[in-house]
Amino acid sequence: MGCKSETQGERLKKYILTRLAALIPILLIVSFFTFLLLNLLPGNPVDAICNVGCTAAGHAQLTRELGLNKPILTRYVLYLKHALEGNLGNSYTTDQTVGQALAQRLPITLELMFLSQVFALIVAVPLAIFSSLRPDSRFDRLSSSFSFGLLSLPTFVIGTFLVLAFAVKIHLFPATGYVNLTANLGENLKSLVLPVITLGIGSIAVYHRVLRSDLIATLQEDHITMAKAKGLSTRYIMLRHALRPSTITFVTLAALNVGSLITGAFVVEVIFQLPGIGLLTITSIEQSDYLVVQGIVLVTTVGFVLINLLADILTAVIDPRIRRARV
Amino acid sequence: MTDVRNGPLLDVKSLRTYFQTSRGTVRAVDDVSFTLESGSTIGIVGESGSGKTVLSRSVMRMLPKAGVIHDGAVLFEGNDITQYSNEQLRGIWGAKIGLVSQDPMTSLNPVVKIGRQITESIRHHLSIDKAQAKEMAISILKSVSMPEPERRFSAYPHELSGGLRQRVTIAIALACGPKLLIADEPTTALDVTVQAQILDLLSKLQRERNMGMILITHDLGVVADRCDEIAVMYAGKIVEKAPTKVLFSNMKMRYTQALIESIPRLSAPSHVPLRSIEGRPPDLVGTPAGCRFAPRCHFADERCRTQEPPLMRAESENHLFACWNPVGGMVPPPKEVISRLGITPIREDSILRSN
Amino acid sequence: MKTKLGISFWLSLGWMVLVILAALLANVLPLPNPNASLVAAPNLGPSIHHLLGTDPNGRDVLSRVIFGSRVSLVVGFGSIALGLLLGGVTGILAGYYGKSVDFLFNSLAMIFLAYPPLILVLALVTFKGHSLWVITIAIGIVGSPLIFRIVRSATQSVAQREYVAASRAIGAPTWRVLAKEVFPNVAMTLVAFIFIAVGVAILAEAALSFLGQSVAAPTATWGNMINDGTNDLAQNPILWLWPSLALFFTILSINIIADRLRVRFGVRDSFI
């Protein structure tokens, strides 16, 4: 029996507020841990910045400049205070602040990741639907084996192959370079075709496999038989009754996939020389631009935590049972 | 479709449904025939695995096409629906034939509101607008005695108890005013206390709306006073079929006898062990020659094991049975059943003599 | 019912045995030094002397592919062994004892899991250096919270079963219950997962190599060979293909072995 004092909407609101409140300690712990990790590791950033010919005096001065002689907790509080004011420090190698660098690079990576997921969904969902309507048919077996194979294919192998096929051999799309979204939308999308396909293919395999087995399981459930017994069409049943519970699986899965998507995006940015966060990370590491690396770790981690939280909330919105179970 | 027709609401003729599996052909429904008039109820009784659920799906033609062999005819309102296309079938499912399934915990979509699960059928078949459909759905919820129907309309299934959920599935089945209601073990998954309520509700609605109803169950006690006629299924075949009173007072088939003996009797002294039927129903792949019940039957002889008994006519009207060594006398049904049906009990020692 | 492992399983196992043997015997095999330049003319096609040809520096590609497998295998198996040591032991303890032990380890795992995996590996590698051991340890550390979560939930379900409760009830010492009752059952569900994890670790190392953040050049790794190959697409368009094929068949074999074992042990397919 339903709980009489609260409506569904109120319960959902309460759930979201609880989760948001829990976010603050999580972010504090994670940011402190990041700080600790990067500061307590035996590899000293000063060593990393200092070249081989660094004198002891220069070493000490750099340590003072970076504030590394203060106790760790003080440094963390200071860093956090500055971070909350939007100040993540300055890059050693460029005249940009870390905040500026991130603001410039982040949209490119996000656009790449977003478009790749759209592409993956457009391909994977119909494949999964057709597979699940006739499990074990020739189409199903072929597409399932294909997905299984794709799972074993690293992003950079796919990317290299696509560059060779479409950029080197037939000059259809540019191999490298990026045109800004605001400068020219058409050219922007054209410059992203190969990167988006490269990054999306890995997700297609994951989504197809999981959605397929999820749909097959759902289609065997009693409530689908009942929907059939109402005389509803296969199309309606698929869209309204079978796919909807699977969106829960999908949201959970997509959130889990973000980790490997970030890895993939970094690799894709290097292959196609897209000036996103990934390329920034690699160049910053190569140039020992320590504060930039720290800023990237902090921002991507916070973003990652937020995406997982968003996925949880979205799941609660779609699945009415969860609100009750978790609150 | 015009309703000018002769003959019964439903006429099932030599229906066969075989599944082709890697182990061989499973003869799940094997030459089953029965008829059902509007306003009457037939009970189909059998152990799990006897083919009763497949029978209900075969009557609706709701089975997959691949790997399934169909034979026989299902005349619904005079039309043979085994010849129907998928499109035609979808026109009668939900509209003219309603299905109430076994487990209300799984037969409702957990992420779709109850109201929508009722109105989608109404709007699909009757092409009326959203507001009217909602009104109709709420009045149907009222007719299945759902407390607070307006509020329940926008609730999710998990917010309701099992008994209330089964009322929802009944409401869904009734939404478009079907002529035939198929209830497949409608109370098996429910608490004992709720079972009677749901069965009474089904019987009441069936009478009020003059529907034909197929009530499928493994529990002969359940159908005893709620069916006009009872068909006992064993291993894919009907082994005995008779009007309810006749079946209880004059059963012929040894399996029916065993089923009736296994109904728990409240009137029996405590600590009397329940009689159960030894052994298990046969594998439906490569069923043995002879009577399919023979391996578990105490009365089986050589003929039972080699020659399959056909459905034979008993002395009373509409009573068919398949048994070479039929029950000569009468096995006393439980007192509860006797009193509910108003059968004159006979003395128990007469049976002992007849055996 | 026993399911057959199938021909694909045995082919995959055969490939893995071949790769492991080649990696072990690389020094004994009649191969040129993988890092020696100009053992022949640059950018040669496949020939009898150099089965996979040479790269733009005139290095023998077959030799580099075989020596490159060493990095993949050491990181793949080494990091997961470390992950099992860290995540497996804590997972069994947390799952078996529950309460504060569970809370402590689980909170720690959740902190690690809050990081995107690559970011954490890059952070560790950047500040600790690019040696084979650092890479192995970094990937092992990043993988351990995932292993912890899986071992923990497997242990929780095993610990609730009657026979475990029974041996606790008759007063068997804890270490004995863990070793004799809990561990064998958890190991059953883990076997398939471990293989997948090794595959993921090998892929992670390859991605890191491709990004130039793994073992430093000139040591050959499949990832940095592919990266080199992409820079030479114009002169030598098939150079990237050999390490790519080696990597693909290795990961495919591991995935097939894992999948067949999963079916054999009746473990549910989950999205790992």
SS (H, E, C) chain A: CCCCCCCHHHHHHHHHHHHHHHHHHHHHHHHHHHHHHHHHCCCCHHHHHCCCCCCHHHHHHHHHHCCCCCCHHHHHHHHHHHHHCCCCCECCCCCCEHHHHHHHHHHHHHHHHHHHHHHHHHHHHHHHHHHHHCCCCHHHHHHHHHHHHHHCCCHHHHHHHHHHHHHHHCCCCCCCCCCCCCCCHHHHHHHHHHHHHHHHHHHHHHHHHHHHHHHHHHHCCHHHHHHHHCCCCHHHHHHHHHHHHHHHHHHHHHHHHHHHHHHHHHHHHHHHCCCCHHHHHHHHHHCCCHHHHHHHHHHHHHHHHHHHHHHHHHHHHHCHHHHHHHC
Residue B40 DSSP one-character state? -
Q: Which residues on C lie below 8 Å from A213 (Cβ)?
A: 269
Closest to A49 measured CA to CA, from A68, A71, A77, A30: A68
Contact between A300 and C207 using a beta-carbon 8 Å cutoff? no
Q: How far is B105 from chain A (nearest CA, A)?
A: 9
On whether the CB atoms of residues B70 and B16 are closer than 8 A, the answer is yes
Is the CB of residue C176 less than 8 Å away from at least one CB of chain A?
A: no
User: How many CA atoms within 13 Å lie on the side-chain side of A144?
Assistant: 18
Q: How far is B106 from chain A (nearest CA, A)?
A: 6
Closest to B218 measured CA to CA, from B63, B53, B354, B346: B53
Cα–Cα distance measured from residue B108 to residue C35, given in angstroms and rounded to the nearest whole number: 66
Token representation of residue A323: 């609100």
Q: How far is A8 from chain C (nearest CA, A)?
A: 30
Token representation of residue A130: 């057709």
Which of A51-60, A310-319, B86-95, B343-352 shows the lowest mean pLDDT across its residues? Answer: B343-352
B36-64+85-90+180-267+276-287+294-355: CATH number = 3.40.50.300
Q: What mean pLDDT value characterizes chain B?
A: 83
The strands making up B79-80's β-sheet, listed across from edge to edge, are B24-36, B10-21, B68-76, B79-80
Cα–Cα distance measured from residue B179 to residue B9, given in angstroms and rounded to the nearest whole number: 8
Closest to B183 measured CA to CA, from B147, B137, B157, B222: B222
Interfacial residues of A (vs B; Cβ cutoff 8 Å): 1-3, 8, 221-223, 225-233, 236, 240-241, 244-245, 248, 318-321, 324
Q: How many CB pairs below 8 Å do chains A and B form together?
A: 90
Q: How far is A119 from chain C (nearest CA, A)?
A: 20
Token representation of residue C34: 């993988």
- Per-residue confidence (pLDDT) for residue A8, from 0 to 100: 65
Contact between A41 and C210 using a beta-carbon 8 Å cutoff? no
Contact between A319 and B91 using a beta-carbon 8 Å cutoff? no
Question: Among partner residues A233, A248, A320, which is closest to B158 by beta-carbon distance?
Answer: A320
Dihedrals phi, psi of B123, to nearest 5 degrees: -70, -30
- Binding partners of C (≥3 Cβ pairs within 8 A): A
- Per-residue confidence (pLDDT) for residue B349, from 0 to 100: 39
On whether the CB atoms of residues A72 and A240 are closer than 8 A, the answer is no
Question: Among partner residues A41, A267, A297, which is closest to C119 by beta-carbon distance?
Answer: A297
Contact between C207 and A267 using a beta-carbon 8 Å cutoff? yes
Q: Long-range contact list for A307-316, CB < 8 A, 24+ apart?
A: A307/A255, A307/A258, A308/A255, A308/A258, A309/A19, A309/A20, A309/A23, A310/A255, A311/A251, A311/A252, A311/A254, A311/A255, A312/A19, A312/A255, A313/A15, A313/A16, A313/A19, A314/A251, A315/A248, A315/A251, A315/A252, A316/A12, A316/A15, A316/A16
Q: Is the pLDDT of residue C36 over 80?
A: no
Q: How far is B112 from chain A (nearest CA, A)?
A: 8
Which of A243-252, C157-166, C212-221 shows the lowest mean pLDDT across its residues? Answer: C157-166
Question: Among partner residues A1, A223, A231, which is closest to B125 by beta-carbon distance?
Answer: A231
Q: Which residues on A lie below 8 Å from C226 (Cβ)?
A: 156-157, 160
Token representation of residue C99: 């309460």
Contact between A263 and C116 using a beta-carbon 8 Å cutoff? yes
Q: Is the pLDDT of residue B330 over 60?
A: no
> Residue for token digits 């059943």?
B337
Closest to A212 measured CA to CA, from A129, A282, A293, A150: A129
Strand partners for B79: B76
Q: Which residue of A has its CA nearest to C120?
A: A297
On whether the CB atoms of residues B181 and B213 are closer than 8 A, the answer is yes
pLDDT less than 70: residues of chain A: 1-8, 39-54, 66-67, 175, 321-327
Cα–Cα distance measured from residue A142 to residue A148, given in angstroms and rounded to the nearest whole number: 10
Share of chain B above pLDDT 70, in %: 88
Q: At what angle do helices A243-272 and C183-210 cross, to 10 degrees?
A: 40
On whether the CB atoms of residues C185 and C200 are closer than 8 A, the answer is no
Cα separations (Å) of A241 from A222, B35, B110?
A: 11, 34, 9
ipTM: 0.80
In this complex, whether C and B touch, counting 3 or more CB pairs under 8 angstroms, is no
Question: What would the mean pLDDT of B7-20 be, rounded to a whole number?
Answer: 89
Token representation of residue B55: 């029978």
Q: How far is C172 from chain A (nearest CA, A)?
A: 37
> Residue for token digits 């690699």?
A282
On whether the CB atoms of residues B181 and B100 are closer than 8 A, the answer is yes
Q: Is the pLDDT of residue C41 over 60?
A: yes
Contact between B121 and A232 using a beta-carbon 8 Å cutoff? yes
User: How many CA atoms within 13 Å lie on the side-chain side of B149?
Assistant: 17
Token representation of residue C132: 């084979």
**Cα B78 to the center of its chain, rounded Å:** 21
Is the CB of residue A35 less than 8 Å away from at least one CB of chain C?
A: no
> Residue for token digits 């080649």?
C22
Dihedrals phi, psi of C214, to nearest 5 degrees: -100, -150
- Per-residue confidence (pLDDT) for residue C21, from 0 to 100: 94
Contact between C118 and A149 using a beta-carbon 8 Å cutoff? no
Q: Is the pLDDT of residue C34 over 50?
A: yes
Q: How far is A160 from chain C (nearest CA, A)?
A: 6
Transcribe B200-222 into DSSP letters. HHHHHHHHHTT-EEEEEES-HHH
Domains of chain C with bracketed CATH: 7-19+59-271 (1.10.3720.10)
Q: How far is A267 from chain C (nearest CA, A)?
A: 7
Question: Among partner residues C129, C237, C271, which is closest to A164 by beta-carbon distance?
Answer: C237
Q: Is the pLDDT of residue B94 over 80?
A: yes
On whether the CB atoms of residues A78 and A35 are closer than 8 A, the answer is no
Q: Which residues on C lie below 8 Å from A285 (Cβ)?
A: 122, 126, 213
How far is the first Cα of chain B from the last one, in angstroms, to the nearest whole number? 54
Within 10 Å of residue B109's Cβ, how many Cβ atoms? 25
Angle value at C-alpha B332, between B329 and B336, nearest 5 degrees: 155
Cα–Cα distance measured from residue B296 to residue B65, given in angstroms and rounded to the nearest whole number: 34
- Binding partners of B (≥3 Cβ pairs within 8 A): A
Contact between C114 and A304 using a beta-carbon 8 Å cutoff? yes
- pLDDT greater at residue A226 or residue C163: A226
Task: Tell me which residues of chain C, numbers 32 to 91, contact chain A at a CB-CB cutoff of 8 Å.
Answer: none
Q: Which residue of A has its CA nearest to B175?
A: A230
Is the CB of residue C251 less than 8 Å away from at least one CB of chain A?
A: yes
Give the model confidence (pLDDT) of B241-264 as tens digits: 999 888 888 888 888 888 888 777
Closest to A94 measured CA to CA, from A286, A295, A284: A284
* Residues forming CATH 3.40.50.300 domain(s) in chain B: 36-64+85-90+180-267+276-287+294-355
Residue B321: its H or E element: strand B320-321
Domains of chain A with bracketed CATH: 2-84 (no CATH), 98-326 (1.10.3720.10)
- pLDDT greater at residue A186 or residue B162: B162
> Residue A135: left if φ>0, alpha if ψ -120 to 50, beta else—which one?
beta
Give the model confidence (pLDDT) of B112-161 as tens digits: 889 999 999 898 888 888 899 999 999 999 988 899 899 999 888 888 88
- Per-residue confidence (pLDDT) for residue B1, from 0 to 100: 44
Q: How far is B355 from chain A (nearest CA, A)?
A: 45
Is the CB of residue B109 less than 8 Å away from at least one CB of chain A?
A: yes
Is the CB of residue A263 less than 8 Å away from at least one CB of chain C?
A: yes
Strands B97-100 and B180-184 turn out to be: parallel
Q: Is the pLDDT of residue B354 over 60?
A: no
Pick from A10, A139, A223 the residue to mutate for testing the B interface (most B CBs within 10 Å): A223
Question: Among partner residues A1, A233, A320, which is closest to B161 by beta-carbon distance?
Answer: A1
B346 band by pLDDT with thresholds 50, 70 and 90: very low
Task: Tell me which residues of chain B, numbers 182 to 221, contact chain A at a CB-CB cutoff of 8 Å.
Answer: none
- Per-residue confidence (pLDDT) for residue A44, from 0 to 100: 59
Q: At what angle do helices A155-162 and C183-210 cross, to 10 degrees?
A: 30
Is the CB of residue C108 less than 8 Å away from at least one CB of chain A?
A: no
Q: How far is A86 from chain C (nearest CA, A)?
A: 21
Task: Tell me which residues of chain A, numbers 135 to 164, contact chain C at a CB-CB cutoff of 8 Å.
Answer: 148-149, 151-157, 160, 163-164
Dihedrals phi, psi of A90, to nearest 5 degrees: -115, 150
Q: How far is C89 from chain A (nearest CA, A)?
A: 23
- Binding partners of A (≥3 Cβ pairs within 8 A): B, C
CA dihedral C246, C252, C256, C258 (to 10 degrees): 90
Give the model confidence (pLDDT) of C148-158 as tens digits: 988 888 888 88
**Cα C48 to the center of its chain, rounded Å:** 33
In this complex, whether B and A touch, counting 3 or more CB pairs under 8 angstroms, is yes
Q: Which residue of B has its CA nearest to A134?
A: B66
Give the model confidence (pLDDT) of B187-218 as tens digits: 887 888 888 888 889 999 999 999 999 999 88
Q: Which residue of A has its CA nearest to C237?
A: A164
Strand partners for B80: B75
